[in-house]
């Protein structure tokens, strides 16, 4: 069974948590896209929800599929958010931001009563860090942040889009760092990174996830915290 099918299996299991009247956070990425597609179908069949998108790409896909997308300010609070991840460990800690959407994703997750992560089986890991951790930085500070992260031994690499700096939806930069060899506890690392002025957010999602749904073969396995 391919990763693509496993993503779909997980997404179809997750949308069972969505009921009419809810305000739903829509994640970003290839796995989240299957969830958006499924919700689009449910809306065509009469489901009435409001949705908040975690990226411009998601907003476009959802709107095209007839989903009512509102702003976070209009939503005030979300009932459930379904999103993908680049890595998820057994303690429901995540690396996110491979697609550059970590900042809005973290804000939406923070404001959501229930956070469901969907992923194919390759994303499930015993220890986070094979995937490079994305950090969102303010362009004014990026080069000096890279210098500081280098001194911390985190091998920072600024993300590029061809010859240009990659830009997020908030027009910030992304710097990908290597946390595999660091012995610092993840929560301490998160604090240290956030203490550097100009780092807006990191792709470490350590405490927000309530439910993880992994597609493996034809089966979706749901784990609750
Ligand atoms: O910035 C992107 C998001 O955090 C995605 O949810 C994450 O990168 C996983 O994406 P995909 O489902 O495409 O592997």
Protein residue closest via CA to atom 7 of ligand 1? 85
**From the CB of 79, is ligand 1 less than 6 Å away?**
no
Are 13 and 40 within one domain? yes
- Categorize the per-residue pLDDT at 175 as very low, low, confident or very high, splitting at 50, 70 and 90: very high
Could you tell me the two tokens for 4?
Answer: 């693509």
Q: In this structure, what CATH number is given to the domain that contains residue 148?
A: 3.30.70.260
Distance, in Å, from the CA atom of 76 to the CA atom of 71, rounded to the nearest integer, reads 9
Average pLDDT, the chain: 98
194 is in which domain, residue-wise? Answer: 133-202
Query: 3-state DSSP call for residue 214?
Result: strand
Known binding-site residue numbers for substrate: 28-31, 83-86, 96-99, 123
For the entire predicted model, the pTM comes to 0.98
The number of folded domains in the chain is 2
**From the CB of 219, is ligand 1 less than 6 Å away?**
no
Q: How far is the CA of 7 from the centre of ligand 1 (A)?
A: 11
Are 102 and 173 within one domain? no
Are 77 and 184 within one domain? no
H-assigned helices in the chain:
3-14, 30-44, 56-64, 72-75, 102-110, 142-151, 186-194
Are 29 and 91 within one domain? yes
Residues with catalytic function? 105
| Residue 1, pLDDT above cutoff 70 | no
Q: Let me know if residue 164 belongs to a domain.
A: yes
Count the neighbouring beta carbons within 10 Å of the beta carbon of residue 223.
15
Tell me what pLDDT residue 225 has.
84
- Classify residue 71 as exposed, middle or buried by CB count within 10 Å of its CB (0-12, 13-18, 19+): exposed
Confirm whether the ipTM is greater than 0.85: yes
Query: 3-state DSSP call for residue 204?
Result: strand
Protein residue closest via CA to atom 12 of ligand 1? 31
């Amino acid at each position: 069974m391919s990763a693509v099918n496993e993503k779909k299996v997980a997404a179809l299991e997750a949308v069972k948590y969505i009921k009419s009247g809810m305000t739903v956070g829509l994640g970003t990425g290839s796995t989240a896209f299957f969830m958006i597609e499924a919700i689009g179908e449910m809306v065509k069949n009469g489901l009435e929800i409001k949705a908040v998108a975690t990226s411009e790409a998601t907003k476009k896909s959802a709107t095209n599929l007839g989903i009512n997308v509102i702003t976070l300010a209009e939503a005030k609070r979300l009932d459930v958010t379904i999103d993908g991840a680049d890595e998820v460990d057994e303690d429901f800690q995540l690396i996110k931001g491979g697609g550059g959407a970590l900042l809005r994703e973290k804000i939406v997750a923070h404001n959501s009563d229930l956070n469901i992560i969907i992923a194919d089986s390759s994303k499930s890991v015993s220890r986070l860090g094979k995937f490079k951790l994305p950090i969102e930085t303010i362009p004014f500070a990026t080069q000096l942040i890279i210098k500081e992260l280098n001194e911390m031994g985190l091998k920072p690499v600024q993300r590029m889009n061809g010859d240009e700096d990659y830009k997020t939806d908030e027009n910030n930069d992304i710097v990908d760092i290597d946390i595999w060899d660091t012995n610092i506890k993840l929560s301490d690392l998160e604090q240290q990174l956030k203490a550097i002025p100009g780092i807006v957010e990191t792709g470490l999602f350590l405490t927000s996830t309530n439910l993880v749904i992994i597609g493996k073969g034809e089966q979706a396995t749901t784990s609750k915290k």
